Chain A
């Protein structure tokens, strides 16, 4: 009883915190200073048609580097918590239906292609490295569910993951040497606005982020799959 009462008090407090957001939404059309600065200068400075990508990869690139690091830490922790104890393996307990099996095999390459498209065009259209990486990971989830693969090659996965993380920092450092600063993408030519090969190093950085996010999420899926199979859970 007392617990429920305390919960209600906490909810009322949270509601009081949230109320100003609902009541005092910005109504004027003008954007705050920093945002209008970004919108005015970003197309000319970076050559990226998608301004959100320009902000994520360049102006707030350090944030994104930290985000990738947090994702890596979380993946490592999941892998540690669901660590394999040695006697797993053997045959999978469930067998996917015929439709799932052949459909999964058919859709997998299309999903990978779509994911690669999303992160390669991150500077032109809505999308980018994180979204593309997640789409790629869903392709691998489909393969796992359809039972057509039993395990992923861990060497390849950790190679892709470490290479993309390393290359991300290397590209950032290249910006420090040949352009204005850390994570500055302008050391590569800007190209024609709105083309695939434009916006300096932004597509390179976003592709590396896509590979890294994809590899990390596949690592999480793999850790959870091992756990399920070890406990002998049948679907």
Chain B
């Protein structure tokens, strides 16, 4: 049950982020929307690896034979996704700073093809 809620929150975050990306005109706000969408995707991927009553796939003294583990592959994929998301966000912010310093504006409609 709890995992349905978490994955639903993830899906909701993806939709909120997409809405921000499509309707905001300020570059920084669009990047924030992208970040929210990113977080939602991570929640969904991690949620897909969940199994009822299972524990984290780390072996220590508390693990007995017959213990169930959650799927370790989505966790590994999300780790990759988080780092790449960070790098892409930094890159987008750098572009936004650069665009702002070249035109003095952070609104997307000031960067139409024919006005450049």
Q: Do A and B come from one complex?
A: yes
CA distance A126 to B98 in the complex (A): 38
| A84 CB, min distance to chain B CBs, angstroms | 13
**A14 with B91: CB separation less than 8 A:** no
| B51 CB, min distance to chain A CBs, angstroms | 6
CA distance A60 to B86 in the complex (A): 20
**A227 with B97: CB separation less than 8 A:** yes
What is the interface size of chain A, counting residues whose CB is below 8 A from a CB of the partner?
54
**B83 with A67: CB separation less than 8 A:** yes
Contact with B along A118-141 (1 / 0, CB 8 A): 000000011010100010000000
Q: Which residues of B contact A49 (CB under 8 A)?
A: 58-60
**A29 with B51: CB separation less than 8 A:** yes
CA distance A4 to B25 in the complex (A): 12
Interface residues of B in 45-62 (CB under 8 A from A): 47-48, 50-54, 56-60
Given the known A-B contacts A26-B48, A29-B52, are A67 and B97 also in contact in the complex, defined by CB atoms under 8 Å?
no
CA distance A227 to B14 in the complex (A): 31
Which of A10, A64, A75 is the one whose CB lies under 8 Å from B87?
A75
Q: How large is the interface on B (under 10, 10 to 19, 20 to 34, 35 or more residues)?
A: 35 or more
Q: Which residues of B contact A220 (CB under 8 A)?
A: 90
Q: Which residues of A contact B93 (CB under 8 A)?
A: 224
Q: Flag whether A18 is at the interface (Cβ < 8 A).
A: yes
Q: Flag whether A2 is at the interface (Cβ < 8 A).
A: no
Q: Which residues of B contact A51 (CB under 8 A)?
A: 57-59, 69, 72
Given the known A-B contacts A82-B98, A125-B58, are A74 and B87 also in contact in the complex, defined by CB atoms under 8 Å?
yes
CA distance A55 to B97 in the complex (A): 37
Q: Which residues of A contact B79 (CB under 8 A)?
A: 52, 56, 128, 130
CA distance A34 to B58 in the complex (A): 17
Q: Which residues of B contact A27 (CB under 8 A)?
A: 52
| B71 CB, min distance to chain A CBs, angstroms | 5
Given the known A-B contacts A49-B60, A50-B58, A82-B98, are A15 and B15 also in contact in the complex, defined by CB atoms under 8 Å?
yes
CA distance A71 to B10 in the complex (A): 25
Given the known A-B contacts A11-B18, A22-B4, A29-B54, are A55 and B87 also in contact in the complex, defined by CB atoms under 8 Å?
no
Contact stretch, chosen from A35-43, A101-109, A145-153, A176-184: A35-43
Q: Flag whether A90 is at the interface (Cβ < 8 A).
A: no
**A25 with B95: CB separation less than 8 A:** no
Residue with the highest number of chain A CB atoms closer than 10 Å, among B73, B83, B90 = B83
Given the known A-B contacts A18-B14, A49-B59, A49-B60, are A31 and B51 also in contact in the complex, defined by CB atoms under 8 Å?
yes
Chain A residues close to B by CB (< 8 Å): 3-4, 6-7, 10-11, 14-15, 18-19, 21-22, 25-27, 29, 31-32, 34-35, 38-39, 43, 49-52, 55-56, 60, 63-64, 67, 70-71, 74-75, 77-78, 81-82, 125-126, 128, 130, 134, 193-194, 213, 220, 223-224, 227, 231
Task: Contacts A29-B53, A60-B76, A130-B79 known; list 6 others, CB within 8 Å.
Answer: A7-B23, A15-B15, A21-B7, A31-B71, A82-B94, A134-B86
A-B contact pairs, 19 of them (CB 8 A): A11-B22, A29-B52, A29-B53, A32-B71, A49-B59, A51-B57, A51-B72, A55-B76, A71-B83, A71-B84, A74-B87, A74-B88, A74-B90, A82-B98, A193-B59, A224-B93, A224-B97, A227-B97, A231-B101
